[in-house]
Amino acid sequence: MSKSLKRAHEYFEVSEFEYKKTGAFNPVIGLDSLFFVDPLLLSKTKIPEFKNAQEEVRKYFANIITLVRSGNKSAREKAHKMLTLREVKGVSIGYGSETDDGSAIGPELANRLLNTAEELIGIGVQDPAIFEIMGLFEEDFGPDRLSDALIRILLNRVYKYSERITKELGIKDTCTINGYEHSYTLAQHPLKNNPLLFIPEGILRDLPVANSFDEISLISSFNEELRTKFNAILASIFAGGTGKRPKKSAIKRYLLENGDYIKTIVDVYQRCAPNPYDFEKDPIGRYRWKETAENLVQASPAIVPTRPIDLADVVRVVIEAFKSGIETKGWWKSLYREDGSPLNESHARRLFYAAALIYCRWSDVDITPESNAGQGPVDFKLSRGNQKIVVEIKLTSGNVRQGYEKQTRIYEKSEDAQASYFVVVQVTEASKVLEEVLKMEEVEEKNGQKHPTVIVINGREKPSASKAK
């Protein structure tokens, strides 16, 4: 039976108001939440458990640099061990896949990061903040891994904070875990055999500053000399006129040509003064997606058939309800930011999931987000018994051709599904690639070839009733 989506306060039977007063992030349990600890926010927080947390992180990385500088084999092995940071379970933030556990820095990635650190030390860069900005030029070191590295380093503080929040909320269902200093009484994860760890909203952003040159440039405090140096570096990195961002490997090669390049970027980065994500206003719709979808469905529910109707019929009804909601019931508004730019595909998928869950519960159908049967995650698998159908969702601002030609077919085969749907939400005025995909589908249909069923949803801005012609 399809599970429910619940936030932490709902599982623990605490009012949302009381939970909000604690300042702790209120995740949807069991799913990734796409928020990350920003190391720069650690210096701003007034939360007692995280006092001087940034200094602790910098000292940790500084010790790794000291070990690497020694050139001693055993010291490097110790540095490698320090940088191999295991995933932290139950943090409920990041890019998990059908999970709310964290990512990890495994031995292979740790070794690559140490190799890069050795190169940087070799050109005179020894600031421990280099580990925070490596995501700018190091493959596989994205915001999730940086955030989880910070949580692992600060885990004792996270335990202390989580224990306090557990007590403040009066949570009775608890478990005991041994920390570095002593044992802690923490909230039991509602779905797993480990604790649920609370993270303060005040140290979270939708993306850490260190993940983007654009963000660093936008919120850094420059003097004229520093701005000139930084802009010159960016101009060289993004030169070429192709309109495409260079690969991280190319950025890395350029930056390693001169130690002053990295030193300038570190200097600019450390002048940034970011603000945490505004969970109240939720400007990019990344936080309250569940409530948005549930409210929309309740305001205009579809008529969903119940058993024993075929799974294929239920899936069609679910997709058509999603399509109708976007095209005729105002759901399209939740696909865009306040400035009119489209949100990313992850938001559209969450909107679909929250809405589809309601319909699936009515029809005794299981829906699994980002199911992974060995060939990478499909967006959704809907099933009843041995019947399976996969659904892939794309925006026209994404990679539509690859989604139709490769991804959806691979997922259908790996899941041993009877059929697949390729749902494309049009958020751009025109899409040549979408037109080509529709022609491919038409040819395959005429030739009797099995193919994903393409459903196009017009998600573009709709004129108000007073302006509609």
Residue-wise over 79-89: b if at least 16 C-beta within 10 A, else e? bbebbbbebbb
Sequence length of the chain is 469
Select the more confidently predicted residue: 22 or 302.
22
Lowest mean pLDDT among 111-120, 164-173, 408-417: 408-417
In this prediction, residue 95 carries a pLDDT of 52
CA distances from 43 to 53, 272, 312 (A): 7, 11, 53
The amino acid at 440: M
Say if residue 333's pLDDT is above 90: no
Select the more confidently predicted residue: 357 or 32.
357
Average pLDDT over residues 111-140: 94
Q: What is the pLDDT of residues 170-196, one digit of tens each?
A: 999 999 998 777 899 999 999 888 899
Other beta carbons less than 10 A from residue 322's beta carbon: 27
Instruction: Please provide the DSSP assignment of 277-346 as one string.
Output: --TTT-TTSSSSHHHHHHHHHHHS------TTS-HHHHHHHHHHHHHHHHHHSSGGGGGB-TTSPBPPHH
Other beta carbons less than 10 A from residue 224's beta carbon: 7
Lowest mean pLDDT among 78-92, 96-110, 248-262, 287-301: 96-110
Say if residue 91's pLDDT is above 60: yes
Residue-range domain boundaries for the chain: 8-208, 289-458
Residue 387, beta-bridge partner list? 384
pLDDT bracket for residue 74 (50, 70, 90): very high
In this prediction, residue 100 carries a pLDDT of 47
Q: What percent of the chain has pLDDT over 90?
A: 57
Q: What is the mean pLDDT of the chain?
A: 87
The amino acid at 145: R
Tell how strand 387-395 and strand 419-426 pair up: parallel
Average pLDDT over residues 192-206: 93
The amino acid at 451: H
- Enter the tokens of residue 222: 């420059």
In this prediction, residue 96 carries a pLDDT of 46
- CA 113/CA 137 separation, integer angstroms: 11
Other beta carbons less than 10 A from residue 133's beta carbon: 26
- CA 149/CA 87 separation, integer angstroms: 8
DSSP letter assigned to residue 208? -
Average pLDDT over residues 346-356: 85
Q: Helix axis angle, 248-255 relative to 259-270, nearest 10°?
A: 110
Q: What is the pLDDT of residues 224-233, one digit of tens each?
A: 999 999 999 9
- CA 414/CA 374 separation, integer angstroms: 7
Tell how strand 174-178 and strand 366-369 pair up: unpaired
Quick check: helix, strand or coil at residue 4? coil
What's the CATH number for 289-458?
A: 3.40.91
CB 186 within 8 A of CB 196: yes
Say if residue 2's pLDDT is above 60: no
* Verdict on whether the full-model pTM lies above 0.75: yes
CB 456 within 8 A of CB 403: no
CB 408 within 8 A of CB 390: yes
